[in-house]
Chain A
């Protein structure tokens, strides 16, 4: 990490302190959640007495026993898989479409390009919840009659609907990445005999790897974290809807839900810890000269 060396570093710690204070409520909440998942009772304050350490919650979670009493069992892996399918689906659709659309908006001079970019920004400004009535109407209209496809259909639908919310911003992001690539790379490819799609695939995509990675990660997390669309359209539960449904259920054991919540947080934590390096460093080859 380098910085201009003219800035006095003396007050750096004040900034850090302020940031720490501002994020204190969040840090506390997450700590309580994670601690509770390892405790027999919910940890509601930070006094050491309220923590009764146990691994039981995690064991029960992975055994599918979501209640301490009663015989209700769920397969948490199945639910996690559902979540993963939605998240990967959203990520794949968003990355693919925005990589193509971002390239077009950055490099191809077609009619309506300017207005399309404005429209994309406008679309991004709309909250997804506001659209849900219309999206639901479409869902009902296209709902399959044959019940064997209902599960599959609800997955495809929720992935497409959720991806549609992410695409405007991701496309803008991708366009920004494509904009930074000098035209010469593209011209060079075209003169050497490549079609636009070959140029896109073989020259441009490798050059904007960090952009692709960023979009893929953010849309993955969007899919992973989504609750409203999943709750509305998906017939099978995901981690989000599972936790939500069990918070209010009478039979639920809260520390176990905390374990489920912590489990649900894992990808987010992992991605931000591992990917921040990649996101910050950019393409190591760089564009020199």
Chain B
């Protein structure tokens, strides 16, 4: 139960800069996801918080206490590793008890606490087994139990679900989120899976190349991406991007003329940009058969997914993906019109790839 403040964290490995001037506040009891592609530095940041890596520059505070030079064991953090790092030569009980044994806790207290946390994670029947006798999901619970047993102030999770199969992942995802809120523990969760981040986190920090691109609630980063990368990284399928030119209050999109969305009129006037990227999510548009007001194109392909289908439309060569209801039947090459939900449209500057509203500030 602690608030984490990262101040200008820079981490270099030799000549390679893994983290560059990271500033981040993680509130008490908050579930913060560090989201980024592999090699983005998100795990490095997690290990820096844990104290395994010492930042090259910058400071880390836990509740205002400067812990930059405090060794990991005195930070009272629990860490769940991607490969869980369960000690193969110890039983589940010994694995979970290990942190307490290191603290020289009395035997009966260890016994009681291990049973408690095992019960909470529903692994009390596995205590006598060895890790290699457990399924992936069970091993993962043991790893979480071991991280929780010392009642840490901060729970750090490094892609804990990536070794589980898809169905189990969905189940554990919901449970882990519930557990974090019940315990009221500050959690930092590293993942490359945008769905995981959106589903679990209170806030998401999107990281790329050692730089935080955007921090916000799942809604904010999903609907109001600050830059093209964030829009393209979140969502499945990701945001569509189409080049467009501004011409007296209208956007020219590959020969189609649509009005500039209301929330962008003032900004475009003020900035005077001419070339933009039009971004919209696949579910923020509708497909209408035939030629009409909107973006006219032809059906390139369609992929039924059960409840809905993804239709890929070619607008004079620019490909966009749009969701359509399951009942509609399209044929290849059919002419359709895409009608955008204007208020959900995001416009990006083509050069900097930043959203226009963040360009002005």
Instruction: Report A's interface with B, CB cutoff 8 A.
Output: 182, 184-185, 187-194, 198, 202-203, 206-207, 283, 285-289
Contact = CB atoms under 8 A, between A and B. Distances in A.
Nearest to B71: A190
Contacts of A286: 88, 132
Nearest to A198: B102
15 contacts: A182-B83, A188-B81, A190-B52, A191-B78, A192-B99, A192-B150, A193-B73, A193-B150, A194-B102, A206-B87, A207-B88, A207-B89, A285-B89, A285-B131, A286-B88
A37 B72 CA distance: 64
Chain B interface extent, by class: 20 to 34
Interface in B46-84: 47, 50-52, 71-73, 77-79, 81-84
Contact of B85 (A188, A193, A194, A206): A188
Contact of A289 (B47, B52, B139): B139
Given A184-B83, A286-B132, A191 B72 contact: yes
Nearest to A206: B89
B132 A285 contact: yes
Interface of B: 47, 50-52, 71-73, 77-79, 81-85, 87-89, 98-99, 102-103, 130-132, 136, 139, 146, 150, 163
Nearest to A185: B85
A29 B281 CA distance: 82
A198 B104 CA distance: 13
A43 to B, nearest CB: 49
B144 to A, nearest CB: 13
B131 A288 contact: yes
Contacts of B85: 182, 184-185, 187-188
Contacts of B78: 191
Nearest to B103: A193
Nearest to B99: A192
Contacts of B84: 289
A285 B130 contact: yes
Nearest to A203: B87
A285 B88 contact: yes
Nearest to A182: B83
